[in-house]
Chains A and B, each alone.
Chain A
Amino acid sequence: MNEEATLLSGYFAMGGYAEFVWSAYGVALLVLGGMALTSWRRLKAAQRALQRLAEADPNLGDDA
């Protein structure tokens, strides 16, 4: 192995605690990312539903 690869694998090994450190960051990323994605998609769905209603009935007005 060349020197860079050794340095990099040494970094990812986290002093022998790789599975604990990376799992903790992985779980945080999954949960935060999941919450962000579901929140965003819920808003988009609500906006689309209102839009469809406004298109079907222009009298409703679109103050969304």
Chain B
Amino acid sequence: MAIGLNLHRFANPGRFLRLADRLLPWLTPASVGLLALGLYLALIGSPPDYQQGETVRIMYVHVPAAWMAMFVYLLLALSGATALIWRHPLSEVAAEAMAPLGAGFTFIALVSGALWGRPMWGAYWVWDARLTSFLLLFFLYLGHIALTHAFDDRQRGRRSAAVLAIVGAINLPIIKFSVDWWNTLHQPASIARMGGPAIDPAMLWPLFTMALGFQLLFFVLLGLRMKAMLLEARHRAAAFAR
């Protein structure tokens, strides 16, 4: 009971709007600053790879985008579960707001991966387990967006999308472990592995800076979109009341 009461305190849109107004003025310059620094480190302040040459610089957008694509999907599934179990109105708004952002990160990861694959593997695309499961992630995002808007009844669309998000979460461990379970052209993990990262610090720092910049940018955009959606709902209610 106490948990239920607590959750509904945060479900109050007014509380969220005040929190967003307090955090956004800090998060926005922080994300822009980190992305600028990350861009400098990625393009100028880091060495070429001894095997991959200058193409290694694609890693600094490819890997953070891929991490975000998976992180946002995890959040999407959790929001869906929260919306279905606790009927938490803010989590439905959050899910609808973050799905296009997740799709955007997935698109960047897929395209930058293809652009990295062509010079290094000789092909823009191969149907190996990592690439195929990642393409499926993109379609899950598109399906979520389509379902959200598929019904005249807003609530029904959001609930169906939530179910899809939860079921689709099975794809996340498949993406993560695809490089270990199957014989993929895609290389295995180099950061989150036993025995520590297999990448030189001169490349690890630009990567982490970009990743943190992507992460903060996501929260900024999520905040802006949720705020916009809550104000739109307020506008609908006020216009209806007139």
Since A35-B221, A46-B229 are in contact, a sample of 14 more A-B pairs with Cβ atoms closer than 8 Å, ordered by chain A residue number, is A16-B54, A20-B115, A21-B57, A25-B61, A32-B217, A39-B225, A42-B224, A46-B232, A47-B231, A50-B231, A50-B234, A50-B235, A60-B238, A60-B241
Q: List 18 interface pairs A-B (beta carbons < 8 Å), by A numbering.
A: A14-B57, A15-B48, A20-B58, A20-B115, A21-B58, A24-B58, A24-B112, A24-B116, A27-B107, A28-B108, A40-B224, A46-B232, A49-B231, A50-B238, A53-B239, A60-B241, A64-B231, A64-B234
* Chain B hits for A49, CB < 8 A: 231-232, 235
A46-B97 Cα distance, complex, nearest whole Å:
14
Q: Bin chain A's interface residue count.
A: 20 to 34
B132 → chain A closest CB, angstroms: 21
Q: Which residue of B100, B116, B235 is within 8 Å of A46 (Cβ)?
A: B235
Interface of B is mostly: helix
A36 within 8 A of B: yes
Closest to A60 in B: B238
* Chain B hits for A36, CB < 8 A: 217, 220-221
With A20-B55, A24-B112 in contact, do A43 and B217 touch (Cβ < 8 Å)?
A: no
A25-B228 Cα distance, complex, nearest whole Å:
29
B201 within 8 A of A: no
Closest to B241 in A: A60
Within 8 A of B (CB), among A47-64: 47, 49-50, 53, 57, 60, 63-64
A28-B112 Cα distance, complex, nearest whole Å:
8
